Amino acid sequence: MKSIRYERSYKGPVRAVILDWAGTAVDFGSIGPVAVFQEVFRDSGVEVSVAEARSPMGLMKKDHIRAMCAMERVAGRWRAVHGRTPDEADVEAMYSRLEPLMMMSLARHCDPVPDLFDALADFRKLGLKIGSCTGYTGPMMEVLVPEAERRGYRPDSIVCATDVPAGRPYPWMCYLNAIRLEVYPLEAMVKIGDTVSDIQEGLNAGMWTIGVTRTGNELGLTEEQVNALDPAELEKRLSVIEDRLRLAGAHFVAGSIGDCPPIIDEINRMMA
């Protein structure tokens, strides 16, 4: 029997964008989660740095704790305090403390990034639907979504890590967005986010990907801190972040969400 070969290539325009939340659409610098991770480890007698707390950002929050526990330096400090490496019971205990702290933090860190609304208007002019996904859990989003909506931001679809079997880098949140938005094929969608796990998620879903640098977790600075930074130093740091996101597979990089509409135009030209 002859083998069956099936090939198809999408040639149409982009039909939807899937936006990350913290560091991409809201919470300039992804400031909210960092101190919370540091606090729950400190409560267990272990100090972790800002860089260690930021490194797994974008993952579902329990996976984030697991990833931090797997870091050799963090595990070494844990052994020095507790005489053993952290285990799943430790992860569960820290997560039980993290969730209420995170919900309090989110209420204070939900302002839209400065150029979000201009970008949304441009996306609408291009006829795009707007989805979203996040490493936050359902209870956390019950705090974040109303606060963001009061500030004017409500995407067409909202999917969080606990809505699907597993969070990033698995593609399930992107798939559920596609279902809810009623958009296909996946090549007609663009995932936009500020972390390596965002890029991996979009690639695993078969989407175009755009990595955000200036407003995101990788730079990790507030808008005021960015504006106060020496321009040459800022450019140097952003260049390193661009390289990191491109190495993860990002098709494009952008300073912020406001720089993304022209990239959508470029993707449309490439697919035409």
Q: Please list the active-site residues.
A: 20, 61
List for the chain the helix, strand, coil content (%; round to 5): 55, 10, 35
Residue 186: CB atoms within 10 Å: 18
- Omega into 56 within 30° of 0, i.e. cis? no
CA-to-CA separations, 50 to 17, 29, 37, 165, in angstroms, rounded: 30, 13, 9, 29
Q: Which two tokens stand for residue 204?
A: 């695993």
Closest CA to 268 of 5, 8, 15: 15
Burial class (CB in 10 A: 0-12, 13-18, 19+), 265: middle
CA 163, 166, 168, 171 dihedral sign is: negative
